[in-house]
Structure formats: structure tokens, C-alpha cells
A and B are shown apart, each in its own frame.
Chain A
């Protein structure tokens, strides 16, 4: 069950997208996700889908990874779209029954919600498939740097983020182990009423928390033994390099934005 998680999974590779600076990749992904909301007519949607298709081709990864990432979510997206379809008033009313109705505005909203979700999820999947979690943490640190002026503890935040991301897979493994251990003792997780389920979750949470607390203690001691004193001025093993490819990527995204705005005002 825990292995099915694709969103947030990293697949190593050597494509242009893999080698892009993590600062550029993070910023541009967010930017692309925001400009998805500029889509309005069919031309803009076709353009964005061609763009996302191109990005998928550029990752050099099998399409299967993306389908597996989106697959479990497709029904939920459909569900959202159906809600829009049945609850949105406005425009020409084709059918209605109680609070349910089918209107032209509803159909338009449902289609756009469906397509936008698909675009956003695919873009987020492209980012996480091509960027290692620690590279994302480095990118976030670089983006937070301006906050130093207001005495925001950027170095500590970045350290916390990298430690947290480092331990997510470890804790996932631990949770699976604990769950299996409890199942072996006869605990049923998917049965019974509220109280019974609560009693099943407690022997799962306590080992998880206790494990995390002892790990934190050990890690903090180890860090101090190696001279960690907190604060700025720590040097890095992986140093980020901004290259011409990154500048090119920024320029292309800006061009994409302009084209999108032009298409939006055609029709």
C-alpha cells in the first residue's frame, strides 16, 4: 500500500530537465502551475497540453511513470468535475431536480476544472520525478535567502527541511513495519466503529513517535559531536550552479506565458 505512492517520488536520470538547476526548476514549475489558470478557450488548452507532452518527452522517462502518478487521482478529478456539473447554477438550464441542475455554465466549469487539474498534477509530477528531494530543499533555501534581511532563520529552516525530507522514506518504512507487526498480533485496522479504530491506531502511533524522538536525539548528538552550532556560514557539499540552460528555461517559460495570453485573447 505504501509503495504505490508516486507523487513525490524521484527517478534518477540524465535528461535536460534532470540537470536543470533546482532553483530554476522549482520556480518555473510554480510559475507554470500558476499560469495554468490563464487557460480559457480550447486553443489555450491545446497549447498547454502540447507543452506538457513536450516536457514529458524531455524527461526521458517512461510515460508509465506519469500514468501511474495520475491514475489513482483520475477518479477523484472526475468526481470534482461531476460536482461542478451538478451544483453550478447559471447560463442555460438543461435539466434540474431539487438542488441538482445541469447548466451551460456548469458544463463549462466542469470541463475546465477537469483539464486544469490534469495539467497541474502532471506538472507537479514532472517536478518531483526529475528532482531529488534534497535538491528541492536546496532550491527552497536559495529562494528564502532574501528573508535574511528580516532576520528569518534561513539556514535553520533549510536544515530542518532537508532533515525532514531525508526521514520521510525512513518513517514510511518504519510505519509499514509497525503496521505489519501489529497485524501479526491480531490488530485489525479496517474494521469496527470509531472507538475500535481509535484503539487500533494508538499502538501504531506510539512506536512511530517514540522512534522519531529517539532518532532526533541521536541525530542532534551526532551533529553536535561534529561541531554543528547552528546558524549561517555552513559550507555545502553540493553547490548549485546557474548555467546558460537555466537562463534559456526561464526565457522559454516567459515566452510560453506571452503565447498563452495572446491565445487567450484570440477567439
Chain B
């Protein structure tokens, strides 16, 4: 059994390395996104939420939330400084960029703790974690964008003032989300299983 200070140092450094992975994935498009041929209009699969998911699985909901928050902040800054595609316009709203990503870490962390740590259903927990990471992200991003655009009539510089355009944009995000949920169910159990096994071996 490790002491509390030692556990803290380990988690601190591990979190730092996860932050580094997130930064690498945000900076190098290929490591953070899987382009599906329609990148120009925004159809690409984001895989950064799986890094947040793995962090939440290994370190628990609060660290997961922190790593998610870093991703949110990075994508917010990125949306303002570089222009990727239509999706980037949504993340100029700090709430849309940051809150859903923090929630990925918290939701996945709690569900995994309940299912895998307390009830020992690890394979099921991993599949659910993969699904929930993309589901939470997509649901909250669409919800917050809809609230800001339709509910508050707020427009951000870069989002053209047009109802049709808003709906096209939000449906694209939704379509992406479904592909991301499929990706999560496949990728997270494989990577999560490997990293958890490594953790246990040490």
C-alpha cells in the first residue's frame, strides 16, 4: 500500500502526462481526429475524449474532470486562434468548449468506479465508458450550442446569423457523435484493458 503523499505525486505526474497527450492530440490533427474524407465541412471523428476517458478510468472522476477541462480550454483557445472547420465555431463559446469535456471525465469516472471497482464488472464498465464518453460530449455540446444560439439568441463572431445554417451545423455534430459513440465502444475497451492491466502489474 502506497502512502497518500506518494499516491498524490504519482497521480499528479500521471495527470501531467495525460495533459501532454491531450496537447499533442490537439496540436497534431491526425492523433486527435480521424478524418472521414469530409474534413472541410467538419465531418471528422474526435478521439480526444478517449484520452479523458482513460484518465478517468485510471485516476477517478476528479482527475478525469481536470483532464477534460484542459482539453476544453485547449479547444477553446484553438477555436479562437486557428480555424479548423465549422465545428470550431461552436467552441468559441467557453461554456460549450469546457463544461461538456469536464463532464466526460466526471461521468465516466463515476460510472467506472461504481461498475468496475465496486461491482467488478470491468468489461461491461469499459464498453459503457467508451459509449458514455462520446455520448456525454455530443449531447452536452449540442445542448449548450442550441441554448446559446436559439435560447439566448447569442451569436459569436464567426457563426453566420442564419437559422438554416445553425440546424445544418447541429445535425453535423450529431451525425459525428453517432460515429464517435461507435468508435468509443470499440477503442476504449481495448486501450482501457491494456492500461489497467499495466497498472495492476506494477
Q: Whole-angstrom distance between the alpha carbons of A12 and B47 in the complex?
A: 34
B95 at the interface (CB under 8 A from A): no
Q: Whole-angstrom distance between the alpha carbons of A215 and B45 in the complex?
A: 28
Task: Check if A76 sits within 8 Å of B195, measured CB to CB.
Answer: no
A-B contact count (CB 8 A): 165
Q: Whole-angstrom distance between the alpha carbons of A197 and B83 in the complex?
A: 24
A266 at the interface (CB under 8 A from B): no
A204 at the interface (CB under 8 A from B): yes
Task: Check if A88 sits within 8 Å of B160, measured CB to CB.
Answer: yes
Find chain B residues with CB under 8 A from A79 CB: 40, 83
A83 at the interface (CB under 8 A from B): yes
Stretch of A51-59, A160-168, A250-258 contacting B (4+ beta carbons < 8 Å): A160-168
Stretch of B112-120, B143-151, B182-190 contacting A (4+ beta carbons < 8 Å): B182-190
Find chain B residues with CB under 8 A from A86 CB: 160
Taking a contact as CB atoms closer than 8 A, the residue among A99, A197, A213 that contacts B198 in the complex is: A213
Task: Check if A99 sits within 8 Å of B12, measured CB to CB.
Answer: no
Task: Check if B191 sits within 8 Å of A205, measured CB to CB.
Answer: yes
A55-86 Cβ-contact flags toward B at 8 Å (1 or 0): 00000000000000000010011011001101
A165-188 Cβ-contact flags toward B at 8 Å (1 or 0): 111101110010000000000000
B153 at the interface (CB under 8 A from A): no
B8-50 Cβ-contact flags toward A at 8 Å (1 or 0): 1110111111111101100110110010100010000101001
Tally B residues with Cβ within 8 Å of A. 55
Task: Check if A90 sits within 8 Å of B160, measured CB to CB.
Answer: no
Stretch of B97-105, B121-129, B134-142, B161-169 contacting A (4+ beta carbons < 8 Å): B161-169
Q: Whole-angstrom distance between the alpha carbons of A260 and B90 in the complex?
A: 29
Q: Whole-angstrom distance between the alpha carbons of A209 and B54 in the complex?
A: 9
Task: Check if B17 sits within 8 Å of A213, measured CB to CB.
Answer: yes
Find chain A residues with CB under 8 A from B194 CB: 206, 209-210
Task: Check if A73 sits within 8 Å of B19, measured CB to CB.
Answer: no
Q: Whole-angstrom distance between the alpha carbons of A172 and B23 in the complex?
A: 10
Tell me whether chain A's interface is mostly helix, strand or loop, or mixed.
Answer: helix
Task: Check if A220 sits within 8 Å of B9, measured CB to CB.
Answer: yes
Task: Check if B28 sits within 8 Å of A167, measured CB to CB.
Answer: no
Q: Whole-angstrom distance between the alpha carbons of A198 and B44 in the complex?
A: 12
Q: Quote the shortest CB–CB distance from A217 to chain B (angstroms).
A: 6
Residues on A close to B: CB < 8 A? 1-2, 5, 7-8, 73, 76-77, 79-80, 83-84, 86-90, 99, 109, 113, 116-117, 120-121, 124, 156, 159-161, 163-168, 170-172, 175, 189, 194-195, 197-198, 201-202, 204-206, 208-210, 212-217, 219-220, 223-224, 228-230
Q: Can you spell out 16 A-B residue pairs with CB atoms less than 8 angstroms apart?
A: A1-B30, A5-B27, A73-B82, A83-B86, A83-B160, A84-B158, A121-B81, A160-B12, A160-B19, A175-B28, A205-B50, A206-B191, A208-B21, A212-B21, A216-B17, A224-B9
Return the 6 tightest CB-CB contacts between A and B, nearest first. A87-B160, A163-B16, A164-B19, A76-B83, A167-B20, A216-B14
